[in-house]
A and B are shown apart, each in its own frame.
Chain A
Amino acid sequence: MFTLGPLAFTSGWLLLGLIALPVLWILLRAVPPAPIRRRFPGVALLLGLADAESQSDRTPWWLLLLRLAAVAAVIVGFAGPILNPQAARPGTGPLLIIADGTWADARDWDARTDRMSGLLDEAARAGRTAAIVTLTAPPVDGPNFQPAAAVSQQLPNITPAAWEPDTAAVADFADTLTGNFETFWLSDGLARDSRAPLLAALEARGTVTVFQTPRSTVALRPARFEDGAIALSAVRTPSGPELTVPVQAIGLDPAGTERVLAAVDMTFDAGNSAAEVTLSLPPELRNRVSRFAVAAARSAGAVTLTDDALRRREVALIAGGGEAEGLDLLSPLYYLREALSPTADLIDGTLADVLQANPDVVVLADVANLAGTEEDSLLQWVEDGGLLLRFAGPRLAASDVGRTSEDPLLPVRLRAGGRSVGGALSWGEPKSLAPFPESSPFFGLQIPDDVTVTSQVVAQPDPSLADRSIAQLADGTPLVTRKTVGEGQIVLMHVTANAEWSTLPLSGLFVQMLERLAISTRAATPEPGDLEGTIWLPQAQLDAFGRLDDARAQAGVAGELIADGTAGPDLPPGLYANDDARIAVNIAGPETTLSTAQWPARITVEGLEVRAETPLQGWLLAAALLMLMLDVIASLAVGGRLRGPRADVAAMALLALLVGFTPRTAAAQDADDFAIQATSSVVLGYVTTGDAQTDEISQAGLRGLSDTLFRRTSIEPAAPMAVNLERDELAFFPFLYWPVVPSAPLPSRDAYAKLNRYLRSGGMILFDTRDADTARFGSSSPEGRQLQVIARSLDIPPLEPIPEDHVLTRTFYLLQDFPGRTDSRDVWVEASPPDAELADGMPFRNLNDGVTPVVIGGNDWARAWAIDARGSKMFPVGRGQAGEIQREYAYRFGVNLIMHVLTGNYKSDQVHVPNLLERLGQ
């Protein structure tokens, strides 16, 4: 191989051909371009004319240069040039390739594979044996040296693991090493304790070369919940210049699709190895987040899974008679709010509203009666797994709820009135609480002495009462009762939620009880002691690349391992669940820091990147071909063949070349132009019918109307545009004029869909049968029949002839007739609502809002409006002065119509102006 700087040639001797170039130069220069023979009678006049200059008997220098360049490119191309040839790495004996194989490797694992592949290829060429070992999964019985080509085959099976090498396992591996071999160590760049012993063991066996890149590795620490926001932190190594990483919160959306719910930029200051950012999310969104990930980082370290620690319960608080203005301390919700707000998200609102938010818990404080629909939806919500917590109170005690039969939303039947003990007019002392029975969820809670109950509602004795009572007073009266409904449960505290009936809400017991009822959030992380002896089932697992895979088929993991918290082969990072608690095992813990691996000076550290060999042969040959093609054109030009009689062929070839290089979608361009033209100002449109004359008249008619509008009103339309229903977008036009032509083809299905969308979204179409309404929308005229056919598939509301008080009669001019070239009274618009009544003192009925989507008539308005390019009227209307008056009314109708389209029922509202002024007191 012949090398020349970064270039090498597979067959360098071919370059000797370049010596021939000067010879070629002389040869080419001496040979003039071949002459063209032309028959030309005028030759008699040419006889005797000598050439003024004899330049073109030699090929022009630039053409020569082009040809020489082409030939040179061919010669060099066939010499097989290669950019960045791989320098051979001499070596003998077995070769051990060690990869760390950790999550930090995953980001550029492809590059590592390439590097390993390159090393193995070299080893194969040198006939060496080789072995590949990843330290996250070291072979138990030492490296297995095989022919390098065979090891190459195994390369695709080697993947990084989502954890760090175990120090003990690496030490074991170091002990298994035997014989002498050379080592290439592909380091992931992170410092760890296991490196030094292994390096020593390897150096004892042969030379060690380390491949390590000085890139930045980022790890995301677990997200914490702090002060109502999510605190995210990350560490990196090395701590170089300022770095901003985008962090995404990913979770399921309401439709069950995983998507990015929020994104935030986290910035490492220059020289700082840690960064923090807080992310404030609405509770609903926050509870959906399943993990945070650094966008576009393919590494498990850049992903942190969230578990229950981040999840907060949503509690809806509803009090009976909340509108009464009282002191905060008397509010039935005050103590609940105080107890719950540190640990749960509270929702206020009406029951119907809060149920939409699907809270975890609904608290009804002293609410007795619920409306039928509310009760149904609340019951449904409880059956779907909701927890309904009710507190008693004066209202509940006074109501008849649950007296005779068990209320579905109460766990027990209640006796009328409740009872008071220890008051001024009653015997006895205020009652204290009995210790909680073992079956109670409150079992084990310490009962403070000062918790007393003075009033309560009392449950009716019932066979099921004993089962449902989970806390009672010292005299055995149930204080808290509970029943399960479907998947959910209903809990009733027989006292109020404020301190009126008992001191319970004032005590810490109240908060603990709420916690036990799983109303407030659970403890962030179960204590290690709690985890002992439990089995946690993997729900999802992270692979080294940060992908989350379903792991529900995998075996459970002992709680002790999770308590340890270090990911490893036995405990892949992921989400583990036990009953209803979930724990995330992440690669980076809250205290994790990263540092860069340092190698002793005696070790060669190389970069990872391989400058790939780039064969240039194809490019050079392609360039030569291109130059030869240019030469063809240039030769034609020099030889005079680009002009003259045969120029058309050359021009066509050139044109084909140019056309090939200028791809351009004419249709899209047209559509854009159309849209820009139609939307740059108000434009009236007319539907093309395929009949050239009708279209021309429509155009002229709308031109006349546009002119009139321009002169008389503040509407200043641009020139009207033809609208092809099949091709053009209708949404740009507020108004379409549609002359009905019997011979016109019906719109296609797509066009109908477009038309209906147009009508529904506020467009207006003026159908003009132009038959002077002789048909009266029957089928006696061909236009009438055609209109019926057209309208069959259109979404047209019920119609009626324009009533006298329709807004069209007064949007700009006061009109009662709507003549065009003919003068028929029957013009149809959307029917007014049947309940529209004429109020006293009102000149007009309060008619439908909005714009009538269609106006149908047969007065041939376009002809009455039509003006030609010079502005003179194109068609006579009526006779003499009366006719001109009729034309004037036609214009006025047009003005009213466009005003109606653009302002809607604005004029209809004008009738209220006196009332409005009166109300304003003016």
Chain B
Amino acid sequence: MTGALALRAAAEQQASTLPPLLAAAEQLASTVILGDHGRRRAGTGDTFWQYRPAQSTDHARSIDWRRSARSDVSFVQDKEWQIAQSVTLWVDRGASMRFASTDKLPEKATVARTLALACAILLIRGGERVGLTGNDLPARRGTAQITQMANLLARDDAADYALPDARGMAPHSRAVFISDFMGDMTGVQDALTRAADNGVRGALVQILDPQEEAFPFDGRTIFESMTGTLRHETLKAGDLRNRYLDRLAARKDHLTQLARTTGWQFSTHHTGAPATQALLWLYQSLAQPA
């Protein structure tokens, strides 16, 4: 009884985050107008490519009667062949992402999920296949995929810092990793090199809270990680600022370096800034030819 109740409550809670997440993602996605990336030849697709005389193999349904009426031959409308790219997303579900410095700012996780979902919506609208890394959600197309993805993204991880999951990425596909990259860098490095081995290109988006960038602390302070497993005590937090900022810069440097060697793109997004910027950047980096 209790188990069912707890499950129900969790489901409710999860579902309750969904509509706003979806809505926010939809809203964000609507700000970007998709360009089309047709293959410049006839095939399956939505847009008109050319008229050709009907052949016997063509189904009668496919004859374009309007065009055929102007001549004696029956014509069939060829569509432009549109090829779908599959994009796999990884969104950090670690506890460190559930941080927001003030009430006015969203949690990093919220921003990351919205960004991922908006990106997915855009890609699916563009006819791409979108999925999640790991074996939870293989890349598929269709709006049902978005709902499912939203469901999966809403899950939280107990660990402080999550490691990128490089499984389930089709070779030569695209991938997007969204995280704060505060955890162990070896996991990120492994995942990236593995992806690069498979010919997977993509984008790294680092989501940071403005406070993490500014370190506006002073006085005697005990810093704790979100779950409380890690802690660091200092007597004069103000003194740490420069060294902390140095380390952060070094980490960003490292990520940039890593991205460059593996052919990925890297960008940092702050929760205080509008998500549209990050989405645009993400969209453009994905649109770059492989």
Interface residues of A (CB under 8 A from B): 32-47, 49, 51-57, 638-645
Contacts and interface: CB of A to CB of B under 8 A. Distances in A.
15 contacts: A38-B217, A38-B221, A40-B211, A41-B97, A41-B108, A44-B160, A46-B223, A49-B244, A51-B239, A52-B236, A53-B239, A56-B219, A56-B235, A57-B235, A644-B216
Interface in B174-233: 180, 182-183, 209, 211-212, 215-226, 230-233
B219 A33 contact: yes
B244 A42 contact: yes
B155 interface: no
A640 B215 contact: no
A601 B160 CA distance: 97
Contacts of A57: 220, 235
Nearest to A638: B219
A38 B239 contact: no
Interface in B144-177: 160-161
Contacts of B183: 44
Nearest to B248: A45
Interface string B55-75: 000000000000000000000
Nearest to B218: A640
Interface in B62-115: 96-97, 99, 101-102, 108
Contact of B212 (A35, A42, A51, A638): A42
A638 B238 CA distance: 11
B247 interface: yes
B240 A46 contact: yes
A380 to B, nearest CB: 86
Contacts of B125: none
Question: Which 6 pairs across A and B sit closest by C-beta, in order of nearness?
Answer: A640-B219, A640-B218, A41-B96, A35-B220, A639-B219, A43-B223
Contacts, number: 119
A51 B221 contact: no
Given A34-B220, A640-B219, 7 more contacts: A41-B96, A41-B209, A43-B232, A44-B183, A51-B234, A52-B239, A53-B236
A43 B235 contact: no
A38 B209 CA distance: 14
A601 B218 CA distance: 75
B220 A32 contact: yes
Given A38-B222, A49-B244, A645-B102, A43 B230 contact: yes
A641 B219 contact: yes
B251 interface: yes
A56 B236 contact: yes
A41 B225 contact: yes
B230 A47 contact: yes
A35 B222 contact: yes
B24 interface: no
B276 to A, nearest CB: 24
A43 B108 CA distance: 16
B137 interface: no
B243 interface: yes
Contacts of A44: 96, 160-161, 182-183, 225, 230
B237 interface: yes
A36 B221 contact: yes
Nearest to B108: A41
Interface in B232-261: 232-240, 243-244, 247-248, 251
Contacts of A41: 96-97, 99, 108, 160, 180, 182, 209, 212, 225-226
A39 B236 contact: no
A640 B237 contact: yes
A416 to B, nearest CB: 113
B51 to A, nearest CB: 55
B158 to A, nearest CB: 15
B19 to A, nearest CB: 27
A45 B247 contact: yes
Nearest to A41: B96
Contacts of A49: 232, 234, 240, 243-244
A34 B235 CA distance: 10
B217 A51 contact: no
Nearest to B98: A41
B226 A42 contact: no
B251 A45 contact: yes
Contacts of B212: 40-42
A43 B235 CA distance: 15
B224 A643 contact: no
Given A46-B244, A639-B220, A640-B221, A35 B233 contact: yes
Contacts of B102: 645
Nearest to A48: B232
Nearest to B101: A645
Contacts of B237: 640
Contacts of A43: 223-225, 230-232
A659 B96 CA distance: 40
B232 to A, nearest CB: 5
Nearest to B96: A41
A917 B86 CA distance: 104
Contacts of A638: 219
A644 B216 CA distance: 5
Contacts of B230: 43-44, 47
A53 B108 CA distance: 33
Nearest to B251: A45
Contact of A640 (B108, B226, B231, B238): B238
Contact of A45 (B182, B219, B221): B182
Contacts of B220: 32-36, 56-57, 639-640
Contacts of B234: 46, 49, 51
Given A51-B235, A56-B236, A36 B182 contact: no
A643 B237 CA distance: 11
A434 B160 CA distance: 138
B217 to A, nearest CB: 5
